[in-house]
Amino acid sequence: MLEWVLLGVLGLAGLGSLNKTTSTTTKIPAPSPPKLPDALDHEFPTKLEIWKDVWRSSVGDGRWIPKGEASQIVVSYPPPVWTGSERANPLKTTSATDLILKELAIRNAAFLNRQRLAQKEFFDTVEKNPLTPEQIHACVCMDDHVLVVAAAGSGKTSTMVAKTGYVLNQGLASAGQILLLAFNKDAATELRERVSERLKGVPCVDDVAIHTFHAFGQKVIASATGKKPSLAPWVDQSGKDIETVEKIALELSKADPTFRHEWDMLRTVYAQSIPANDEHPNARAAFPTAKGDTVKSGGEKQIADWLFYHGVEYEYERPYEHDTADERHSQYKPDFYYPRLNFYHEHFALKKDGESPFGRSYLESVAWKRGLHAERGTDLFETASHEISTGVALQRLRGELTRRGQKLHFDPDRKGDGSSAVTNRALATTIRVFQQHVKNNRLSYGQLRAKLKDLSGNLRNERFELFLSVYERIAEEWDRRLKCSGFIDFEDMLVQATDLVESGRFESPYTIILADEFQDSSKARARLLQALSKNPTVRTHLCVVGDDWQGINRFAGADISVMTEFDRLFDRPTRLNLSETFRFPQRLGDISSAFVQKNPIQIRKKVQTRNAWNKESIFIYAFKDSENPLNHLFDQLSAMHGFASKGRLKPSNGRLVTILILGRYRSDEPAEIDLWNRQFGDHLDISFRTVHGSKGLEADYVFILNVIEGRRGFPSQIEDDPVLQLAMPTPDLFPFSEERRLFYVALTRARRQVRIYTSRSKPSPFVTELTKAWDLKVETGNGELMNACPRCSEGFLVQRQGKTGPFHGCSAYPRCGYMRKIFRAEEMPRN
């Protein structure tokens, strides 16, 4: 019987007969193998071993075997069929494909170990430093779709260069079959120079194709259509695209009063996004209004600005007309009072269910205020924080004011004593980012409207509707100008190239495709890679390298979900790690890694370092608002220069000790940079970058300025506009998610130390989080240590003046009301 099983299996495998006798009697039907009784298929394990022997010999072990071959093996060599009871089926939980994959993994591991030894000289010399075991694994692994998750400073570019050289040396592809894709021109230039320098002895290495995604898209279109497309001049220069959006908006405003009203409403009132449950009040988060008041929440600011630009007279926190001060309450100050109409307006921090993020004490305060108005017979109108994000609060306020006889006149040019309206350029920037996502994700206006309906339900979201209305008009004019001039933009370039690859009009010659900085890719880039990797005529290997922890280019159309959801976008995925960094000290790596991984969507990894620096790697300094932290920075630089001049402070990588000063905004750049370089330039190399502009850079010492709480602080409170979610398939809803990744980038530029500058009264929540989690000390400008609040651990104790004298209060007031009296020497309690 076993003989029949063997013949049956080999016949199904397509290997033909075992002897001539069988081949000459093919006209006589061979008898079927007898069926074994249920639960008695005792020969099934033997059948499996025979099946394994058959396909093993076809695979060999002299190469890396991609995962995709497992399914092909099953088709070419069908496994034996279990004929017994399903309950006893040995393959019930493990398919034949899984069995093959397990064995292929063992063979590939053995092959990797052999290659480490056989190619040791290449792996040790292809880059300036010998490749790490993880980098070698990334070079040797030739699975179908590989995602290499790389830590900051782990040698991403080195890995791409080395993998290119490995493929060529092993004859896995010719130079003309290799495509390297980079995020921008600078990265492509660096990659091209590195390949040329490190692989200069490899024949035909200059035939390796190295492009930006957009340049490659242009090449695809030219090859498939015979006509090289022209890129619109207003997208090929930095900032010109935003300038064009602004010009279109201003021209539409002149021609169409309706558009102008919508545009100006967005600028003056709705420019700032408000979360669904705006946490109010919060004395640390001060919001200046157009009129000149300082309010305590984003919702209050939106209301105040709406009132101001509609010509409504109001008073903010005017004392209530009746005395309310007693042992438990101070004098009541309602949020808004309308003197001409004689009624009060409270904007309560209430969720849709009537609860508050501030708990029972806040709800008791709400009840007390309502009771006062009822008892005293004063008129109270209420809005709630949950009504702000949908626009319901302003709709109800409009109705209440007009019902009472208030005339509303919208004047976007009205000048106040406070904050200015958002500029046309700033709003144009948001429109342009939104447009990039819309085009990259191939969304129609109808799909955007449908998504808005899904997000809003039965409620009208006035802010989002205004935004979509304005966007559609601008996008139509943008596309009209492209068409009339015969141009395309960057997004069209990728979309059209992908269509040509998918349709087969472009025949890809590439069998090895490597892409860098994958965390900065858009959906359009990912689709292009998908299309290229599905070559129907030849097996293609795709390897992308990136660090989702450094995904900071959403403003340029990047979508981090293409990396975090790689397994969903690409079949038969393999994930490898580059978790060993050459750059920063271990403690700094531990702190920064834990910090960025608070965002739940980030890919988990443990970062180890080869940096031997064992001194303290992170310092925090806090200053009073009136103090100038730049004086302290100057003193630090002066001291470092003194040590360097005496040989006590040596550069880690070069002739000079490198100092990198970082700011969240360009306006953070110290005006004294040039002066400091003239003073200290013989031993210190001092430069400034925005954190966005610092990506890819490193220095011995890093100073991060203005790490404070505020609209233009760090984290910035003007990022991640929720309206972008209409154009993005995967919401990134964790608070300050991109700002958190940006701060991680700032921290990981340092080879030795990071020095953070914050405010004593408005410390950044990032600073308080780090001090709480890692027991970091915060020094004041005069060298004293600031103490964390013993009650909330979110703020620091700052000195304030009260009615009975000085006291230490929490900087997080009023979220935390901790107070501790400061006693004079004669007042100190005695035992």
Is 152 part of any known ligand binding site?
Answer: yes
Kind of pairing between the strands at 512-515 and 541-546:
parallel
Is 150 part of any known ligand binding site?
Answer: yes
Distance CA(714)–CA(657), nearest Å, equals: 27
DSSP, res 266: I
Is 157 part of any known ligand binding site?
Answer: yes
Is 151 part of any known ligand binding site?
Answer: yes
User: Which residue's entry shows tokens 């000289």?
Assistant: 121
Q: Which helix (H) or strand (E) holds 289?
A: none
Specify the 3-state DSSP secondary structure of 434. helix
Distance CA(809)–CA(644), nearest Å, equals: 41
Is 285 part of any known ligand binding site?
Answer: no
Is 286 part of any known ligand binding site?
Answer: no
The angle at the Cα of 440, spanning 439 to 441, to the nearest 5 degrees, equals 90
Is 25 part of any known ligand binding site?
Answer: no
Distance CA(665)–CA(38), nearest Å, equals: 74
Nearest residue to 527 (alpha-carbon basis) of 60, 213, 309, 302: 213
Q: Tell me the one-letter amino acid at 814.
A: P
- 3-state secondary structure labels for all residues of 127-155: CCCCCCHHHHHHHHCCCCEEEEEECCCCC
Contact by Cβ (8 Å): 705, 662: yes
Specify the 3-state DSSP secondary structure of 664. coil
Those residues with Cβ within 8 angstroms of residue 688's Cβ, 6 or more apart along the chain or in another chain: 660, 661, 662, 663, 669, 670, 673
Alpha helices in 486-582 (DSSP H): 490-503, 523-533, 561-564, 566-569
Please list, residue by residue across 703-718, b when 16 or more beta carbons sit within 10 angstroms of its beta carbon and e when fewer do.
Answer: bbbbbbbbeebbbbbb
Nearest residue to 401 (alpha-carbon basis) of 294, 479, 314: 314
Where does residue 774 fall: left (phi above 0), alpha (psi -120 to 50 degrees), or beta otherwise?
Answer: alpha
Q: What tokens were used for 275?
A: 């979360």
Kind of pairing between the strands at 657-663 and 785-786:
unpaired
Is 457 part of any known ligand binding site?
Answer: no
Largest CA distance in the chain: 117
Annotated binding-site members for ATP = 150-157
Residue list for the binding site: 150-157
